[in-house]
Chains A and B, each alone.
Chain A
Amino acid sequence: MSDYLILSGVLFAIGALGVLVRRNALIVFMSIELMLNAVNLAFVSFARQLNDMTGQVIVFFVLVVAAAEVVVGLAIIVNIFRTKETVDIDDIDLLRG
């Protein structure tokens, strides 16, 4: 059990680090997916441990939402690339105050 949780924590940390340090939007995006799946792993292992199906059901929801989010996110990235010729997130700083 704890092995799974440690794996999940490591995966989440890698994902978070990827979001924070990488500049390529696609990599950042993949890192987010990694964090989501780390959480999924934690859910599944808890479900198995506690004999409660709720955790697995929630994983399904997360998968569905993630799928939709990937579609939207990729579409945004493609559009950004078309207009700005780059996917470097440091160049996309229109919201700077």
Chain B
Amino acid sequence: MDLIWLVLALPLLGSLINGLLGRHLPKRLIGWVACGSVGLAFLISLRILFDLLALSPNQRVPPQTLFDWISVSGLSTQISLLVDPLSTLMILVVTGVGFLIHVYSVGYMSHDSDYSRYFSWLNLFTFSMLVLVLADNFLLLFVGWELVGLCSYLLIGFWFTRPSAAAAAKKAFIVNRIGDFGFLIGLFLLFATFGTLDYLKIFEAAAVPHALPELTATVITLLLFAGAVGKSAQIPLYVWLPDAMEGPTPVSALIHAATMVTAGVYMVARSHDLYMLAPFSMNIVAAVGAVTALMAASIALVNNDIKRVLAYSTVSQLGYMFLAAGVGAFSAGMFHLTSHAFMKALLFLAAGSVMHALGGEETDMRKMGGLRKVIPWTWGVFLIGALAMSGIFPLVGFFSKDLILEEAFSNDYVALWLIGLFTALLTAFYMLRAYFLTFHGKPRYDEKAVHPHESPAVMLWPLRGLAALTIIGGILWISWMGFTPLNEFLSPVFAGVAEGGREHTAALSEGALIAISLLVALAGIGIAWLVYIRGFQPGEALRKTFRPFYTLLEGKYYVDELYYSVIVQPGRLLSQFLATVFDLRLLDGLVNGVGALIDRAGGALRRVESGYIRNYAAWVLLGTLGILIYWLMR
């Protein structure tokens, strides 16, 4: 447990070594430093897990203070780390999945000239996320929060010579800033209310009945949620995530699986003591989650870019997590976060492997197809990922998604449950659509120019590892004689959450719910199979009916265009006005005017200084006479 600081220090050290000395190091060593630091951090996290398991379940581990950071009257903030089941789960996911992505990157980025810069930032990203999850107060969390935003900017714009990558990086950063603004105001309000930003102190104070008015709790939690909406890409701030595909594929995997987007879910789960006091906020969280899940999944239906399909899938799955958190099933949300980290890292890395096989840059699924025989390993792991995402037993996605739907249903959110169920259908369809388009059918790439080849072992092993995790991850939530491993592990953290929902599940039994969601998933897969393998062509009438929907979806609901015309364009006009009229005319005019005035006055006064001594003497004499006369007259 005392080793916890190493979990933070190792990735930071790796980042510094590669960032400062990387130019002079051989590529092999850079890879070792980057992977080694994260790998070691993972091993230490495992050690911490076992230490934690050795303690009795309800034993809270006090935060470890590393050093004082800010200490002024009324505000004292330490750099201190909180190791409890929730943060331990997060550091395991971050370092574990992060480590596999690092290893994969060694192969994927091997031809890039900026090898050391890439790994330096990748390590920094991991470090930032670890700061975020290990912080024991909101201020340090916010530091990690912003660091993560910075790293996403750096890595999305890694190939900054491409204008589209630079624009995507800027978009990610700016959209995140909008959410962070709300988050920051939320922090101010927290501090004003409680006089501290420490988790434990705040939650303790909030737990006292009637200590916190519901209105205050609602405002605080909604503001904090605004930050989560930005970071975890929910409506209305999800637009940055699909564009973030401009970064290297392993970066997408890292952003989507281990770091960054999970921050919002983690933050909501961490502050569940506050959210439980604000039922309205909880409903907002759940509704935003459900609507985002549906909307993003529907966009993914028609997108032809393999990475963007996965990106919208991430947005959709994050919606599930917020849905879970919103209905009070925080551990279910954290479980889906974990399982999604496995699945999505697997899918992204497999997609990267497909791109690698086709020469590196091709992401258009219309130019793939028939790759099953050519790259069998990539095919296998992608299929596992796609099936897991669709929620097929016994893969991990089945357990986590079903759990969320079940919690939504048993907590009487039937409408949200229906949305979630429909989204599950869409999910199964678009995942299998991506799979069929990529691996089945006739090859649609240029067979003369492109010779697909399987990826090197250094890329395949992480894929196999993630595939294994995806297959066996379900054991985390298999009830085994009334004992659910992850639930038991997390229960001390979520002790305050009422566990009453399950009792009044009258309408449908647990088994029926599972059967329904499995059937839905299979239906989705079946439709995808019909359309993309059997070549089923919908009739003319059906096509006419759905044409407007299709156009709408293909345009991604025209949200980007809407934001452009409603926010970006007026903002630009205002800036234009401020720059040319306000700044140039008024402000510059004022400043230049003062300067000109002083210049003129100086020019006039200059004449007095003639340089003739007699003039000066005459002035002295006149002055003296003046004083004398004044005296005499008095």
Residues of A within 8 A of B (CB): 16, 19-21, 28, 89-90, 92-97
Q: What CA separation (Å) do A16 and B608 show in the bound complex?
A: 21
Shortest CB–CB separation between residue B24 and chain A, in angstroms? 59
Chain A residues contacting B612 (CB-CB under 8 Å) are 89-90, 93, 96
Tell me whether B611 and A95 are in contact (CB under 8 A).
yes
Q: Bound complex: CA of A69 vs CA of B610, how far in Å?
A: 25
A97 engages B614 (CB within 8 Å)? no
* B611-A93 in contact (CB<8A): yes
* A97 CB contact (under 8 Å) in B608, B618, B621: B608
Chain B residue numbers with a CB within 8 Å of A20 are: 614, 617-618, 621
* CB nearest neighbor in B for A94: B611
Cβ of B609 and Cβ of A95 under 8 Å apart? yes
Q: Which residue on chain A has the smallest CB distance to residue B605? A: A97
A21: B residues at CB distance < 8 A: 614
- Closest-CB distance, B170 to chain A (whole angstroms): 53
CB distance from B609 to the nearest CB of A (A): 3
Q: How far is the CA of A95 from the CA of B613 in the complex (A)?
A: 10
Q: Which residue of A lies closest to B606 (CB)?
A: A97
Closest approach, in angstroms, between the C-beta of A79 and any C-beta of chain B?
Answer: 16
What is B's interface to A at a CB cutoff of 8 Å?
605-614, 617-618, 621
A21 to B618: give the CA distance in the assembly, Å.
10
List the B side residues contacting A95 at CB < 8 Å.
Answer: 609, 611
Q: How far is the CA of A83 from the CA of B605 in the complex (A)?
A: 30
Provide the residues of chain B in CB contact with A89, threshold 8 Å: 612-614
16 extra interface residue pairs, beta carbon distance < 8 Å, beyond A20-B618, A93-B611:
A16-B621, A19-B614, A20-B617, A20-B621, A21-B614, A28-B613, A89-B613, A90-B612, A93-B610, A95-B611, A96-B612, A97-B605, A97-B606, A97-B607, A97-B608, A97-B610
A89, chain B: closest CB distance, angstroms: 5
CB distance from A43 to the nearest CB of B (A): 17
Contact between B617 and A19, CB atoms less than 8 A apart:
yes
Considering the chains assembled together, what is the distance between the CA atoms of A93 and B621 in angstroms?
20
- Contact, CB under 8 Å: B609 / A96: yes
Chain A residues, CB < 8 A from B605: 97
A-B contacts, 10 of them at CB < 8 A, read: A16-B621, A21-B614, A89-B612, A95-B611, A96-B610, A97-B605, A97-B606, A97-B607, A97-B609, A97-B611
Write the nearest CB–CB distance from A14 to chain B, whole angstroms: 13
Q: How far is the CA of A96 from the CA of B610 in the complex (A)?
A: 5
Bound complex: CA A94 to CA B609 (Å): 10
